[in-house]
A and B are shown apart, each in its own frame.
Chain A
Amino acid sequence: MSALPEFENHSEQEIKYTTCYMCACRCGIKVTVQNNKVRYIQGNRHHPINKGVLCAKGNAGIMKQQSPARLQQPMRRKPGTERGAGEFEPISWDEAIDTLSERLQKIRETDPRKLAFFTGRDQMQALTGLWATQFGTYNWAAHGGFCSVNMATGGLYTTGFAFWEFGDPDWDRTKYHMLWGVAEDHASNPIKIGLEKLKRSGGKFVAINPVRTGYQAIADEWVGIKPGTDGLFALSMLHVLLKNDQFDWDFLVRYTNATQLVVQTPGQKGDGLILRDDDGNPLVWELEQEAFVDGSQVDIKPALFGEYTAPDGRPVKTVMTLLAERYLSDEYSPENTEEVTGVPAKQTERLALEMAHVAFKETIELDIEWTDSWGRKHDKVFGRPVSMHAMRGISAHSNGFQTCRAIHLLQIMLGSVDCPGGHLAKPPYPKHVPPGIKPAKECAPNTPLKSPPLGFPTAPEDLVIDDDGNPLRIDKAFSWDAPISNHGLMHMVVTNAVNGDPYPIDTLIFFMANMSWNSSMNTAEVMDMLRAKDENGEYKIPFLVVSDAFHSETVNFADLVLPDTTYLERYDTISMLDRPISEPAAAADSIRHPILEVDRNVRPWQEVMVELAGRLKFPAFTKDDGSRKFADYKDFIVNYEKEPGIGFLSGYRGKDGKTHLRGEPNPKQWEAYIENQGFFVHHLAPNQQFYRFANKDYLELAKHAGWVGKTDPITIELYSETQQRFKLAGQGLYDGPQPTKQEHKDRLTQFFDPLPIWHKPLEQTRIDEDEYPFYAVNQRPMFMYHSWDSQNAWLRQICAQNYLYMNRGKAQSMGIEDMSWVWLESHNGKIRVQVKLIEGCEPNTVWTWNAIGKQKGAWGLKPEANESNKGFLMNHLISELLPKKGDPVDNITNSDPVTGQAAWYDLKVRITPADPDEASTWPDFDTIKPAPGMSEAPDQLRYAAHKPVHLNRSIRDVLTRGSLDEDK
């Protein structure tokens, strides 16, 4: 017998529970700490998100804490040195906050919109948004505008929830899953857990993606679609469903606006709007009464199909009629979409019918009693077990909003919305379509905004434009350029501010966003813009403040750097007011709390914000006597109430900590969360888990908890009247604000449509596609989070150099060799990259991992690091403006014309071999200098939390025993 090994000494260890922040998935972690060092980070098996598992990034948390790129102290650009030269001098926190608050005070007293505050991959937009609202500037948004607003908007204007953050497939019950354009997504661990469940239970997994890696690797069927054509593919499947009479008639009648009547008066005002009675209720045609009746009533039998003449004489058609007329057309037949999408007609048809089979022939029945919004009791819940999930492969195209709507339409036709086996909402979703908040339109000195900076326009009246129709926001969100830009257009801020278009600003704050590098389009020029000066020698962006925890490329451009803590060192909330960690059957939120002592002169950004809010005397942060309301962030979280009983954290409220969702502040709320492993879960009763758009018990709970404003049922909008209102404005047929410029009129008429359309991605309509024949897209690597993880000694061993992957057969036909260097050129510029040939890539597509390339010297890496010599960034090729054609459209954002979502993946390129001696990345930027106080990166690393334990094989064993096989 060989003895057991020694075991480590647990007596010197402490176990703490908190929330991972190696990415925005926000898994629960159980951290073993030894002498203020992390011994081991594992998944918390009780946590609703990850149920004990942990991804590669989460497992590498130790190395984030070791990163030489961690900022050490507040600093300012050395007076007299140029911005971007990387000359910094350390300053004290007092000085840093004094400088900033004085400057902000002046702005707030004069013209608050001269402060633009934009945040990147943060998870506390409820706080940053509140801060901006209180400051009184509408120039605030988070990164959603360049990330995935198409998915949010597509969902919120259709079903009241959406993919990712607001919904999940019912992984436990689904029998058929279609994944559209997803490499990793935020639900990083949940998708993996889910796919495994699906496969283990024998379900089918279909992946639609031009590239076959990661999730697509394990797909039962891979559809290698051409980028940007998914909308047409979805609508083609819709065509097949209609042709074969396969749709959920009952579902459409009960829960959607399919039976509502649409006015058909082309060329006249009011065309395409829903026929309504005097109270504004939508009218339907009642089949028994043979009359127009209020369609919001129950127990009526409305016609799904039909053309009628309204009492006022106008012709009307049901929504479903319009829908069927459009998509039955040959234009959408699989044979006709094949060439554009690259998906064989037979496959399109079969996939549509497979889904119909699973939805309608393999229906799930659960014996759950529930009550609908009208008080009727049902003894069963029916499920159509087809689910879908879609993300940036859809959203990062300029037709992404319409495509997302097309995918939702498929779900709705199959009746697989918030039902067992289908796509489920996650509290606080679903919301009414769309949610009721409108974006703020006015800024006034020393005054908070009347509504939040971001909201949900439903008509041109809601736009944030002046009387002449010009944009009011620095990012031109909610303007004619992108009317329904719910998340703002962070990718336009630098360009617009530098051009003074619509106006110059004074101070720009970036929190957690690497805007001079991987998060911005047209990187090289953005770097020039950050350095640009006016004729007086003043910087066009006069003051740039960056809050970051690490030495990023953007930090190098800052005038003032406010160094943040890491996720293991601070308090955070993942709030129900923001994007909580809920699961379909449970509302949940969570916290972080310091589990390591801070060893640098850094402060949590939220402390800085609460401090500034106090100093600037924001009303919500100030008592009546003018003194500060909140001592610090912890105090703020406990005591701030958005409305009575509703705060940032929904669990353990009330004086005794026993009330949940709504209740008085609990002074011991943090302690309660910490004791409960850092999170709070409220499980929904079975009768509250499905059909929540019309589920009385759920909606009452949702109202109580402040998730929805009213308990009225949520009508799913197959047909979007909002879209039609903007279209009418474009046609000059709207009573209200209308665009004056032709390009805006064209965009509104072309790209807005109450029923989803497919159009070519915009970039492709403004370049010669023969000249740039390849689609170029990115994927998220599962083991790296944007720019953060190249500083991670373990993760960068997995990949520190990205390649341009292309189809082997295609490359060979062009004489391009594996591992050779090539030039990649777009209408916006060129880069030199190394090629790797693979099978799993649609032949007209090339792709690479996102955000691996780094500027030399950034991120604590040595100048010779692979990332900055062989790795590359696709961003240099992508323009933030549409390709130039010498027309007024030249200055319009390269984004979805509906939502303003950055169109990263519309990019088209050409490939030519590079000279044999050109074996490195180009362009090559200056080397960034290390920041003061940063320690040099070591040449070797040997991390251990303690001395190794011994195995102690005995000498006797050594001498007497061979390997087991021989002993037998």
Chain B
Amino acid sequence: MHPAFSVILFTVISGAGYGLFILLAAFHLAGIGPAMSHGELLAHGFASLGMITLGLILSTGHLANKKNAWRSFMRFKTSWLSREAVFAVLFYPFAGIYGLGVLLQGSAIGPLPAVAGSIAAVLAVVTLFSTGMIYGCLKTIRQWNTALTPANYIMLGIATGSALFAAIAAAFGNATTMHAGVAMVALVAAAVLKGIYYFWISRVNGPTINTATTFNRATVRLLDTGHTAGTFLTDEFGYDPRKDTIDNIKMGVFLLGFIAPVLVFASILSGAPAGIAWLAAVSSLVGIGMERWLFFAEAKHVVRLYHGAQTCTDSLAEPSRVGPEVAADTRRGDAPRGELGDTPGGSGS
């Protein structure tokens, strides 16, 4: 799948935002950890809502026809994308009531904002789950079609959120071993889950060029795609990163996404200044950005079988060709250039 920059930014940023919110709700409402100052609460709240909102705005970046974006709430009945949108929007009033409560009442909020905050936290999880399910429900992309996908989305959101949470807390001088510990646990859990995912996708199988073409008893090879240049399909699905790029990025995911942040928190636990939690937060965000890129780049849509891939994990047999690029001014969306007789006259024939 072609990694769309806007989608990467959106899922990483809003994921972290939801994670942060969940942490906030957990610490504040469930009373885990130290009491937070009004300022700190507001900082967590604004940061999470800001990130969520920024993410959502960015997410419309990949819509080719933004004026119909409002219609995306219509198909809650069957579409995870619709559900995500609905939950994401539903989150706001509850988060808003909670936020208002905090704004007006400080740390000691009343029951209404507290209940609203709890509901918002649940909605944050549900939204993260829905985001994951957008990908997880697709039978066409074997690497995504697993419960690990939503699990990953939730866990990565919480992990990045917890790093951020610790960092913000540190900024308010309120960071505790609790913060670092929770972040470490979340990061390790996310790393393990991600590891399981990577192990799992190395073994996925599914349709092959044989089942795609219906010729099951012999080698099938693409002779010609029937078009000169790339198409929407090769653009969208023809992305074939090099193996070493994948390996390097994967290293980056673990190093920046998990190992470095965990080390940071470990060192905080062993006495380093809590302020370096910021390093962990930024590092995890960058790492998870790389993870998100990989999530797309490694996903191989089954339509590639028609473009020459032998299995649904292979790269295309043919070097990909350039896809449809539109003159800059006419371009919509951000889909980038893809890779992929004895008559006197009877003398003719």
Listed in ascending order, the chain A residues whose CB lies under 8 Å from chain B are 24, 121-130, 133, 141-145, 147-149, 151-152, 156, 164-165, 186, 213, 428-429, 431, 434-437, 452-456, 486-488, 577-579, 707, 796-801, 818-819, 838-840, 866, 939-940, 955, 958-960, 962-963, 966
Contacts and interface: CB of A to CB of B under 8 A. Distances in A.
B347 A144 contact: yes
Contacts of B223: 213, 838, 840
Contacts of A431: 341-342
A216 B165 CA distance: 68
A429 B346 CA distance: 12
Nearest to B319: A819
Interface string B312-349: 00000011000000110010000000000111111111
A718 to B, nearest CB: 21
Most buried by A among B318, B327, B349: B349
A966 B228 contact: no
Contact of A578 (B77, B227, B318, B345): B345
B271 interface: no
A126 B345 CA distance: 4
A125 B348 contact: yes
Contact of B348 (A147, A436, A455, A940): A147
Give the interface SS of chain B, mostly helix, strand, loop or mixed. loop
B228 A801 contact: yes
Most buried by A among B226, B227, B342, B344: B344
B344 A141 contact: no
A141 B319 CA distance: 46
Given A126-B345, A866-B229, 7 more contacts: A125-B346, A125-B348, A142-B347, A435-B341, A578-B341, A799-B228, A839-B221
Nearest to B326: A940
B341 A939 contact: no
Give the interface SS of chain A, mostly helix, strand, loop or mixed. loop
B318 A819 contact: yes
A840 B221 CA distance: 11
B74 interface: yes
B270 interface: no
19 contacts: A125-B345, A128-B345, A142-B348, A144-B349, A145-B347, A147-B348, A436-B342, A454-B344, A454-B346, A454-B347, A578-B341, A579-B346, A707-B341, A838-B223, A839-B221, A840-B223, A940-B330, A959-B74, A966-B78
Contacts of A121: 348
B228 to A, nearest CB: 4
A866 B228 contact: yes
B75 interface: yes
Contacts of A434: 342
Contacts of A488: 347
B228 A800 contact: yes
Given A579-B341, A819-B318, A963-B78, A797 B347 contact: no
Most buried by A among B221, B228, B341, B347: B347
A125 B228 contact: no
B342 A147 contact: no
A151 B344 contact: no
A428 B78 contact: no
Contacts of B221: 839
Interface of B: 74-75, 77-78, 221, 223, 226-229, 318-319, 326-327, 330, 341-349
Contact of A152 (B74, B227, B349): B349
Contact of B344 (A122, A437, A966): A437
Nearest to B231: A797
B345 A129 contact: yes
Given A798-B228, A799-B228, A819-B318, A147 B344 contact: no
Contacts of A429: 341
A186 B348 CA distance: 11
Nearest first, the 8 closest Cβ-Cβ pairs linking A and B are A435-B342, A125-B345, A452-B344, A126-B345, A148-B349, A129-B345, A129-B344, A487-B347
Contacts of B330: 939-940
A105 to B, nearest CB: 23
Contacts of B78: 962-963, 966
B228 A796 contact: yes
A903 B319 CA distance: 36
B72 to A, nearest CB: 11
A753 to B, nearest CB: 23
A939 B331 CA distance: 12
A940 B328 CA distance: 11
A605 B341 CA distance: 22
Contact of B327 (A141, A147, A437, A940): A940
Given A213-B223, A839-B221, A577 B345 contact: yes
Contacts of A798: 226-228
A141 B348 CA distance: 9
A186 B345 contact: no
Most buried by A among B223, B228, B326, B345: B345
B345 A428 contact: no
A958 B68 CA distance: 14
B275 to A, nearest CB: 52
Given A164-B349, A966-B78, A797 B344 contact: no
A141 B347 contact: yes
A123 B347 CA distance: 10
Contacts of B228: 796-801, 866
Contacts of B344: 125-126, 129-130, 133, 437, 452-454
Most buried by B among A122, A124, A144: A144
A963 B75 CA distance: 11
Contacts of A145: 347
A257 to B, nearest CB: 20
Nearest to B75: A958
B345 A142 contact: yes
Contacts of B226: 798
Contacts of A142: 345, 347-348
Contacts of A156: 342
Nearest to B345: A125
A145 B349 CA distance: 9
Contact of B343 (A213, A578, A838, A963): A578
B347 A129 contact: yes
A845 to B, nearest CB: 16
Nearest to A151: B349
Contacts of B342: 156, 431, 434-437, 455-456
A800 B327 CA distance: 20
A582 to B, nearest CB: 11
A736 to B, nearest CB: 23
A866 B322 CA distance: 12
B343 A126 contact: yes
A72 B138 CA distance: 53
B326 A428 contact: no
A127 B349 contact: no
Contacts of A456: 342
Contacts of A963: 78
B345 A147 contact: no
A151 B226 CA distance: 32
A936 B98 CA distance: 61
